[in-house]
Amino acid sequence: MSSTVTVSDVPAVPAMDAAARVQAGAAAPLLSIEGLHKRFADKVILPSVSLQVGHGETVVLIGPSGSGKTTLLRSLNFLERPDGGTIRLKGQRIGLSEQGRILPEAELARQRSRIGFVFQRFNLFAHLSALDNVAAGPQRVLGLSRDAARARAQVALEKVHLAQHLGKRPAQLSGGQQQRVAIARALAMEPEMILFDEPTSALDPELVNEVFDVMRDLATARMTMMVVTHEMSFARNVAHRVVFMDAGAIVEQGTPGDVFGRPREERTRRFLQHLHT
C-alpha cells in the first residue's frame, strides 16, 4: 500500500531534546511489553514481542500487511487476549493479576480507560450527537455526572477543532470529522496513552491531513502514542521512534532518520524500497 500523503504535507514535530530523550528512555517506561505472544488456532501471530514506550513518546509501527502490528495494539488493552507475556502500564500489570488470573470485566474496563484506542472505523453511535458520543465514556465508565461528562466532552472536541459541530450526528459529519470525534472520545477519558490503528485508512485522501494535524498537535503536546500506519510521511515527520515489524517480530527500530535514511537490516531496506516502486 503506497502512501497517499507526501512528506511535505505533514509538518514535522520537533524532535525530543536531549533531556526529554533521557527522561523517556532512561526513566521507568510508561509502557513495558515483555515476551508478548499471540496465536490464532495454529497460526502464531506474535512469537515474542518486547518493547518499551517512554512518557511523551510517539512510536509509529510500520511494516507489511499481516506483520502483527494491529494484533500487537489490540493485545495491549486486551481487545485480543495474549497467550503469553506481560504488559505493564506504569508498572501495573494489564489484563491479569500478578498471579496470572484474568481480571474481572469491571477492572479490565477501568484499565482500558487508561489506554485510549482509535480504530480504523469510527465506531460512533449513529443516534447520538458528537458531544454525546464523546461524553458516553466518561459518564458510563468513569461515573461522571451527565453535566460533568458533557463539559469534559466539549473540551475534548475543542482540542480536535470541532467546537462548531457539537450537536451534529455522525451522518452530518465528514469522515475526517468523524475520526476526529473518535480521537476526542479517547481524549475525554484522560488516558495515559492512546493507540491508533491505521486511523486514516478509511478516509478519502483529501481528508487525511485534518486527522494527522490533530495527531501532530497531540505529539507536540507530549501525549504518549503508538500508531500503526502505512503513511510513511507521518512516520517520518511525527514519530520520535519508528518500529519496523515483519512476521510478528520487531526487525528494527530507531529514529525516523535512522530507519528511513540508514536502515540496518536488509528486510527493512527491501520494505522501504518497495514503497518507492
End position of a domain, from candidates 149, 171, 190: 190
Which domain-ending residue is among 190, 219, 241?
A: 190
Give the separation between CA 71 and CA 66, rounded to whole angstroms. Answer: 9
C-alpha–C-alpha distance, residues 159 and 57, integer Å: 19
Considering the domain architecture, whether residues 179 and 267 belong to the same structural domain is answered as no
Kindly report, residue by residue over 124-165, the tens digit of the pLDDT. Answer: 999 999 999 999 999 999 999 999 999 999 999 999 999 999
Given this model, what pLDDT does residue 27 score?
72
- Considering 144, 167, 190, which residue would you say is the last residue of a domain? 190
Do 186 and 198 belong together in one domain? Answer: no
Tell whether 107 and 128 lie within a shared domain: no
Question: Is 203 inside any structural domain?
Answer: yes
Coil, helix or strand at residue 161: coil
Q: Is the pLDDT of residue 15 over 50?
A: yes
Check residue 28 and give its pLDDT.
86
C-alpha to C-alpha distance for 160 and 133, rounded to whole angstroms: 14
Q: Which residue has the higher pLDDT, 113 or 14?
A: 113
pLDDT tens digits, 41-51: 999 999 999 99
Together in a domain, 99 and 183: no
214 and 133 within one domain = no
Specify whether 238 is located in the same domain as 102: yes
In this structure, the answer to whether residues 154 and 237 fall within a common structural domain is no
The reply to whether 30 and 140 lie within a common domain is no
Q: What is the reported pTM?
A: 0.88
Instruction: Give Cβ neighbours of residue 73 (< 8 Å, ≥ 6 apart).
Output: 61, 117, 195, 197, 226, 228
Q: What is the mean pLDDT of the chain?
A: 89
Taking Cα atoms as reference points, which of 110, 30, 41, 45 lies closest to residue 78? 110
157 vs 120, which has greater pLDDT?
A: 157
CATH of the domain at 106: 3.40.50.300
Task: Indicate whether 196 pLDDT > 80.
Answer: yes
Instruction: Tell me what pLDDT residue 20 has.
Output: 47
Q: What percent of the chain has pLDDT above 70?
A: 90
Instruction: Give the number of domains in the chain.
Output: 2
- Specify the residue for cell string 484506542: 117
* Residue 45 to residue 73: CA distance in whole angstroms: 12
Domain that holds residue 141: 121-190
Helix (H, G, I), strand (E, B) or coil at 276: coil
